[in-house]
C-alpha cells in the first residue's frame, strides 16, 4: 500500500513557489529572502500533510474490486472482461470517488489500454468492461488488479493490489459456433417448409393433401383411393449420412493469416462444419494429420459429440513437418467403409508442389465424395488487386498474380478428377464452407 501525489498537488507546490518568488521580487525590502523561504517551507509542509491526510482518507474508504469469473474464451474474437467496483460501506451517498484500475491480462494478448478510469458515487456497484483478443489457444493466466483511488481533496492517490489470479482456457471460435447454431436452427425451420412445398428429398416423411403446384408424380394413388381425395408423399433428404473432415496441421498450416495461424482458421471452419452436419442429422468424424494421422475420432452424432470434438481438438497445435496426404487418405479408407463426404482442409501452393494432394484425393473417387478446402491469404488478394505506381509494387503485384494463377491450375486438375473445390480467404472460410455443405445436402449429391 502507498500514497502517491496527484498532479493537483504538484501544481499547488509550483503555485506556492511562484507566489513566494514573486513576493520577494516585488517587495525585496519588505520581505526578506529567508522569510520567503520559511514561508515556502511551511506552505509545502502543510500541502504535504494535507496530501498524506487525503491519501489516508482514501485508504479508510477504499473500494472493493473484483473480476467477474472468466469463462472459456474464443480465439480471434473480442472477449469481454468485467471488473466490479463496490463502494465502501461507510461511503456517503453523494460522495464521488475517482478510481483507476490496472488489470494484468496475459502478455501477448491484444486488449484495452490500461489503466481504466471511472468515477463512482453512492453505494451501488459499478461495472467496468474491456475487451481482449486472444491469438493462441491454450491456458492463459490473469494476474492481480492494481487499484488507485484518489482522495476527496484530490491531492493524493492511494494505491494497492488486489490478488485476482485466474487461469482461463482459450478455445476455438465458440462465439461463432453459438451464432451459427442459432442461424442453422432458423434455417432448418424454413428449409423444412420449403422441402414440404417442393417435395424435395429421397426419404418418405409423411402424407399430406395435394396442393396447387405439387408434382403429380408424387401423388400416392393407393392412399388417394382410400381417402377419396388426392394425397402426396412428402420426401426429405436422407438422414444419418456420413461427413468426414480431415484437417492438415503440417507446415503450410503454421503460417500466420490475419493474426491467427492458418491451422486456427481451419479448426474454426472444421467445428462450424461439424456443427452444421450434426444439426442436419449426419454422423461426423474428424481426423487431424501431419506426416501421420495425429488424431482420429470416428463418426458419431449428437450435441455431445460436438462437445467431445471441441475438447479433443483444442490442445492441438500445427507443426513444422511436411504433411503426408496419401497416409491420411489411406487411414481414412481403412477406418470408414461406407460412402461419405470427405472434406480435406489444407492449403496449396501450385500443381507441382501439390501432386501428392491431387493423387490422394483422386483415390477417394468414386467410392467417396471428396471435397478440398483451401485457406487463401487475403493479403495476396489485396496485392493482386492493388494499383501500382512504383517498380517494387509492380513486382509484388506480379508475384501475387502468379501465385493465384498457380493455385487455379492446381484446382483445375482437382476438378478434372471429380474433386469439389472451395478456395476462400482464411478469415471467411467458415461461413462459405457451411453454405457449400448445405447446398450439397439440398442437392442430394452424397
Q: What is the pLDDT of residues 129-154, one digit of tens each?
A: 999 999 999 999 999 999 999 988 88
Neighbour count for residue 83 (Cβ, 10 Å): 22
Question: What is the grid cell recorded at 332?
Answer: 481414412
What order do you get walking across the sheet with 138-142 strand by strand?
73-74, 166-171, 138-142
Please say whether the beta carbons of 232 and 199 come within 8 A. yes
Give yes or no for a cis peptide into 366 (omega within 30° of 0). yes
Please say whether the beta carbons of 342 and 241 come within 8 A. no
Question: What is the grid cell recorded at 366?
Answer: 468414386
What's the pLDDT at 446?
A: 74
Question: What is the grid cell recorded at 338?
Answer: 461406407
In whole numbers, what is the pLDDT of the chain averaged over residues? 87
- Across 290-426, the runs of DSSP E, i.e. the strands, are 293-300, 341-346, 369-376, 420-425
What order do you get walking across the sheet with 79-86 strand by strand?
64-67, 79-86, 126-133, 110-111
How many angstroms separate the CA atoms of 128 and 105, rounded? 15
What's the pLDDT at 238?
A: 56
Would you list the DSSP string of 256-302? EETTEEHHHHHHHHHHHHHHHHHHTT-EEEEEEESSSEEEEEEEE-S
**Confidence tier at 198 by pLDDT (50, 70, 90):** very low
Higher pLDDT: 27 or 233? It is 233
**Confidence tier at 197 by pLDDT (50, 70, 90):** very low
Residue 192 pLDDT exceeds 50: no
Place of cell 500443381: 351
The full set of domain ranges for the chain reads 1-171, 203-236, 242-442
Q: What is the pLDDT of residues 147-191, one digit of tens each?
A: 999 988 889 999 999 999 999 999 999 999 999 998 888 876 654
Higher pLDDT: 240 or 295? It is 295
How many angstroms separate the CA atoms of 140 and 73, rounded? 10
How many angstroms separate the CA atoms of 147 and 203, rounded? 65
What's the pLDDT at 309?
A: 96
* CATH fold group of domain 1-171: Immunoglobulin-like (2.60.40)
Q: What is the pLDDT of residues 199-237, one digit of tens each?
A: 455 555 677 888 877 778 788 888 888 888 888 877 665
pTM for this model (two decimals): 0.80
How many angstroms separate the CA atoms of 180 and 268, rounded? 12
Residue 62 pLDDT exceeds 70: yes
Q: What's the N-to-C CA distance of the chain in angstroms?
A: 68
* CATH fold group of domain 242-442: Rossmann fold (3.40.50)
What's the pLDDT at 429?
A: 94
| Mean pLDDT (whole number) for 412-438 | 93
What's the pLDDT at 199?
A: 43
How many angstroms separate the CA atoms of 197 and 189, rounded? 13
Amino acid at each position: 500500500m502507498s500514497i502517491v501525489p496527484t498532479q493537483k498537488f504538484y501544481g499547488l507546490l509550483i503555485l506556492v513557489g511562484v507566489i513566494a518568488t514573486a513576493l520577494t521580487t516585488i517587495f525585496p525590502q519588505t520581505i526578506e529572502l529567508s522569510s520567503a523561504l520559511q514561508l515556502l517551507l511551511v506552505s509545502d509542509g502543510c500541502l504535504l500533510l494535507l496530501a498524506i491526510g487525503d491519501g489516508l482518507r482514501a485508504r479508510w474508504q477504499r473500494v472493493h474490486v473484483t473480476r467477474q469469473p472468466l469463462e472459456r474464451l474464443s480465439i480471434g474474437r473480442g472477449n469481454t472482461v468485467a471488473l466490479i467496483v463496490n463502494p465502501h460501506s461507510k461511503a456517503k451517498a453523494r460522495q464521488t470517488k475517482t478510481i483507476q484500475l490496472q488489470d494484468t491480462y496475459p502478455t501477448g494478448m491484444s486488449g484495452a489500454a490500461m489503466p481504466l478510469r471511472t468515477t463512482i458515487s453512492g453505494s451501488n456497484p459499478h461495472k467496468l468492461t474491456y475487451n481482449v483478443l486472444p491469438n493462441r489457444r491454450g491456458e492463459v493466466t490473469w494476474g492481480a488488479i492494481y487499484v488507485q483511488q484518489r482522495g476527496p481533496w484530490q491531492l493524493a492517490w492511494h494505491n494497492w493490489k488486489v490478488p485476482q489470479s485466474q487461469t482461463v482456457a482459450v478455445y476455438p471460435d465458440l462465439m461463432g459456433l453459438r451464432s451459427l447454431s442459432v442461424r442453422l436452427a432458423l434455417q432448418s425451420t424454413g428449409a423444412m417448409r420449403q422441402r414440404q412445398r417442393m417435395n424435395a428429398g429421397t426419404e418418405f416423411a409423411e402424407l399430406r393433401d395435394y396442393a396447387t403446384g405439387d408434382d403429380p408424380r408424387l401423388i400416392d394413388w393407393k392412399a388417394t383411393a382410400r381417402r377419396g381425395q388426392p394425397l402426396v408423399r412428402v420426401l426429405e433428404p436422407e438422414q444419418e449420412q456420413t461427413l468426414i473432415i480431415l484437417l492438415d496441421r503440417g507446415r503450410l498450416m503454421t503460417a500466420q493469416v490475419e493474426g491467427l495461424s492458418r491451422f486456427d482458421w481451419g479448426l474454426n471452419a472444421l467445428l462450424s462444419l461439424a456443427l452444421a452436419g450434426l444439426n442436419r442429422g449426419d454422423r461426423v468424424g474428424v481426423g487431424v494429420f501431419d506426416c501421420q494421422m495425429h488424431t482420429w475420432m470416428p463418426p458419431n452424432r449428437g450435441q455431445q459429440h460436438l462437445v467431445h470434438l471441441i475438447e479433443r481438438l483444442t490442445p492441438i497445435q500445427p507443426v513444422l513437418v511436411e504433411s503426408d496426404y496419401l497416409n491420411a487418405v489411406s487411414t481414412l479408407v481403412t477406418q470408414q467403409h461406407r460412402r461419405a463426404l470427405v472434406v480435406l482442409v489444407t492449403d496449396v501452393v501450385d500443381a507441382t508442389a501439390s501432386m501428392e494432394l491431387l493423387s490422394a484425393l483422386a483415390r477417394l473417387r468414386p467410392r467417396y465424395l471428396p471435397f478440398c478446402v483451401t485457406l487463401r491469404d487475403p493479403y495476396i488478394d489485396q496485392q493482386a488487386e492493388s494499383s501500382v505506381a512504383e517498380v517494387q509494387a509492380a513486382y509484388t503485384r506480379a508475384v501475387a498474380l502468379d501465385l493465384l494463377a498457380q493455385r487455379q491450375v492446381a484446382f483445375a486438375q482437382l476438378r478434372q478428377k471429380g474433386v469439389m473445390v472451395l478456395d476462400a480467404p482464411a478469415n471467411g472460410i467458415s461461413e462459405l464452407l457451411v453454405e457449400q455443405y448445405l447446398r450439397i445436402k439440398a442437392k442430394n449429391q452424397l
